[in-house]
Amino acid sequence: MSTHPEAAPAVAVVPARPWSGRDDGPGAEHLRWHHAVELDIELTEPGDLAFVGFASDEGVRRNKGRQGAAQGPAALRRALASMALPRPLRALETGQQRLGAAVAHLVDRGHQVVVLGGGHEVAFGTYSGLEQTRAVRAGGRLGVLNLDAHFDLRDDVRPGSGTPFLQMAQSEARHGRDLDYWVLGISQAANTQALFRTAQSLGVRYLPDTECGVLDASRVDAFVDAFLESCDLVHLTIDLDVLPAAVAPGVSAPAAYGVPMEVVERVCTRVARSGKLVVVDVAELNPEFDVDGRTARAAARLVHRTATTWA
């Protein structure tokens, strides 16, 4: 059903490790994620889901955040492994280039790709791959939906976890295009006026966290639907600090307010069912600061819901 990123010799960086977890017995009725993960890419088919790990938090360090998100992929795999299925350290820039090559390779082979971060610098690595794919080169309109408390449009001398979307915008400009970038969950208190001005200058559409509550379902749905109308291919990127700190304490920058889990899951499901989702990446899981594995389990549920409803 799915493939591990390191299984493809052309893009492998770290040898694949088998997934393991709870086993209630044989048969499809007992199927869990760890049963379905196949490490040999030659045994997979186009359309299979592919997981790509991005074990980096160098961008977080550069952004002066709490380090530890490099352990996120392993923690997220562990948390995801036993979930029941309904059916059968290097230079940052080099790491992003390698991630991009893996993403491009997998997408062009027809895979649906889940990238497990890592700091939010993972998003630029994912994008670097998507811009190389045949679909984008053929003129497909790429849209980026970021579930995040932050714009991550910082203009720093060195790229980090606060810069990926400005890097995307600059790359798109070099190709003569505008970045189609939307953000759901923006915290006014966590973004300077300079960042709001940058967002405005780039035409970024956003919905603040104060308008993303459980009672704001119609507003959230309308925002997501308008985004989906704007593009042909979707890069969904989930920064776990979009969630309240009580739900996701193990992140680089915990949120005092945040967007409720049920709303974030609703958005993921809506995007997954659109038929336009190509890649989803999950960022900022920091096991060192997690409490009772809450953040890892929340992230795993979002990955699980997205993957099992992916059109």
Q: Where are the domains of the chain?
A: 2-309
Q: What percentage of the chain carries pLDDT values higher than 70?
A: 95
User: Rounded to two decimals, what is the model's pTM?
Assistant: 0.81
pLDDT at residue number 89: 47
Dump pLDDT digits (tens) for 225-276: 999 999 999 999 999 999 999 999 999 899 999 999 999 999 999 999 999 9
Nearest to 237 by CA among 300, 147, 119: 147
Confidence at 35, pLDDT banded by 50, 70, 90: confident
Q: Is the dihedral of CA 96, 229, 223, 205 positive or negative?
A: positive
Confidence at 1, pLDDT banded by 50, 70, 90: very low
Q: Determine the angle formed by the axes of helices 122-130 and 92-108, rounding to 10 degrees.
A: 40
pLDDT at residue number 2: 43
Q: Is the pLDDT of residue 6 over 60?
A: no
Say which CATH class 2-309 falls into.
Answer: alpha beta
CB atoms within 10 A of CB 25: 6
Dump pLDDT digits (tens) for 117-159: 999 999 999 999 999 999 999 999 999 999 999 999 999 888 9
Q: What percentage of the chain carries pLDDT values higher than 90?
A: 79
pLDDT at residue number 7: 42
The rounded Cα 88 to chain-centroid distance in angstroms is: 24
Nearest to 186 by CA among 153, 235, 218: 153
